[in-house]
Amino acid sequence: MSYTKTAVLPVTPDEAFALITEPERLRRWQTVSAVVDLRAGGGYRWTVTPGNVAAGTVREVEPGKRVVLGWGWEGSPDLAPDASTVTITVEPDGSGSLVTLVHEGLTEEQAAMHAEGWNHYVARLEKLATTGDAGPDEWAFAPENLTPVTAAEAALAVLQPVLRNLTNDDRPKQTPCSEFTAHELAEHLMGSLVQLGAMAGATVVNPEAGSLENRVSVTADQAITAWRAVDLDGVVPGPGGSEMPASFAASILPLELALHAWDFAQTSGQQLHISDELVGYLHGIAETVVPGARGRSFADEVSPADGADPMDRLAAFSGRTAIAA
């Protein structure tokens, strides 16, 4: 079976093609992270939602006009990478563009499941092209079946829209982390991601170019991908040549991303979109990670304000005080 979806976007064909192929654009409407080698025979790998990774081969490319992807899901016994075909064409339509997506090679059940997904994401693509902002994606920041890795992907989805909305005026502002301005906190976070990736055996490369959201997203994706391959029942290298349980080390990653998302949101006066379920999972991690690191990575626990939401309470447990509006 096949599934077809069309959308008229108020942007040029070149801009529409960029929205469906460039990682930094894809993260604004469809993916938490994306790697694309945009050439015939190249590969792509998209974390669409936490724990769900679409991957395959770029089969054909006509820049600005058409891309054909071998489509499937990592770890799926029913629709493995390259097991189906997604063809996206872009044509001029008045002053905008007509985008047509055809997904072929599906069973009836697969077609129904993918129709739900494509309808959701094409609607977000239309909103992005029309307004410039598709908004936070609940499918990404409120996942089910949480593990340290899927929680890290969800926390990254929480952080990304906050980073996109930071301005140059925010860079010198003090954050709830008393030793860091917003600019210094961003550099600290990327350094932490490099270190956490190294604990999982990866050499994480900070791109040091592009927007702050791009730099953090690319760096975080490398670290998360490395942890996906680690046996969490084993051990990994710790500080000073020591070893620590892999599950403990992996749990630091989502906590780091979520708490710093809160820091940046507080600093810039933004609303943080995060599910209570994810915060509850992170609070369980914090109860294990935070107490032994007070005085170093975390300050003493503070009292949350009256009416504080779950994320504010988690931040208070980690020693952070909310910035007054």
Query: Does residue 200 lie within any of the structural domains?
Result: yes
What percentage of the chain exceeds 90 in pLDDT? 91
* Inter-CA distances, 13 with 5, 61, 89, Å: 17, 14, 10
Q: What is the pLDDT of residue 178?
A: 83
Host domain of residue 95: 2-131
Query: Does residue 313 lie within any of the structural domains?
Result: yes
- C-alpha 320 chain-centroid distance: 24
Q: What is the pLDDT of residue 241?
A: 79
Query: Does residue 325 lie within any of the structural domains?
Result: no
Q: Which phi and psi angles does 280 have, rounded to 5°?
A: -60, -40
* Domain count within the chain: 2
Query: Does residue 324 lie within any of the structural domains?
Result: no
Q: What's the rounded Cα separation, in Å, for the pair 154 and 37?
A: 24
Q: What is the CA radius of gyration of the chain?
A: 20
For residues 88 and 153, membership in a common domain is answered with: no
> Where does a domain end: 71, 103, 131?
131
Query: Does residue 323 lie within any of the structural domains?
Result: no
Say if residue 325's pLDDT is above 60. no
For residues 7 and 83, membership in a common domain is answered with: yes
For residues 36 and 96, membership in a common domain is answered with: yes
For residues 183 and 68, membership in a common domain is answered with: no
For residues 117 and 153, membership in a common domain is answered with: no
> Where does a domain end: 131, 164, 190?
131
Query: Does residue 28 lie within any of the structural domains?
Result: yes
Answer whether 151's CB lies under 8 Å from 282's CB.
yes
Q: What's the rounded Cα separation, in Å, for the pair 274 and 253?
A: 16
Long-range Cβ contact pairs of 23-28 (< 8 A, separation 24 or more) = 23/214, 23/218, 24/210, 24/211, 24/213, 24/214, 24/217, 27/160, 27/213, 27/217, 28/128, 28/133, 28/134, 28/164
Average of pLDDT values for 216-242?
93
Helix axes 276-289 and 310-317, enclosed angle (nearest 10): 10
Query: Does residue 322 lie within any of the structural domains?
Result: no
For residues 113 and 177, membership in a common domain is answered with: no
For residues 85 and 188, membership in a common domain is answered with: no
Question: Per-residue DSSP letters for 128-180?
Answer: HHHHS-----HHHHS-SS--HHHHHHHHHHHHHHHHHT--GGGTTSBPSSTT-
**Average pLDDT score over the chain:** 95
Reported as a single tens digit per residue, the pLDDT across 54-96 is 999 999 999 999 999 999 999 999 999 999 999 999 999 999 9
Answer whether 60's CB lies under 8 Å from 67's CB.
yes
Average of pLDDT values for 290-301?
91
Kindly tell me the burial class for residue 318, based on how many C-beta atoms sit within 10 Å of its own C-beta (0-12, 13-18, 19 or more).
buried
Reported as a single tens digit per residue, the pLDDT across 97-146 is 999 999 999 999 999 999 999 999 999 999 999 999 999 999 998 888 89
Query: Does residue 27 lie within any of the structural domains?
Result: yes
- Please tell me whether the overall predicted TM-score, pTM, comes out greater than 0.85 for this model: yes
> If you search the block for the tokens 């829209």, which residue do you land on?
161
Q: Say which CATH number the domain at 15 has.
A: 3.30.530.20
For residues 102 and 228, membership in a common domain is answered with: no
Average of pLDDT values for 42-61?
98
For residues 152 and 294, membership in a common domain is answered with: yes
**8-state DSSP, 294:** B
For residues 147 and 238, membership in a common domain is answered with: yes
> Where does a domain end: 131, 153, 174?
131
Answer whether 222's CB lies under 8 Å from 202's CB.
yes
Q: What is the pLDDT of residue 230?
A: 96
For residues 117 and 158, membership in a common domain is answered with: no
For residues 30 and 60, membership in a common domain is answered with: yes
Q: Say which CATH number the domain at 230 has.
A: 1.20.120.450
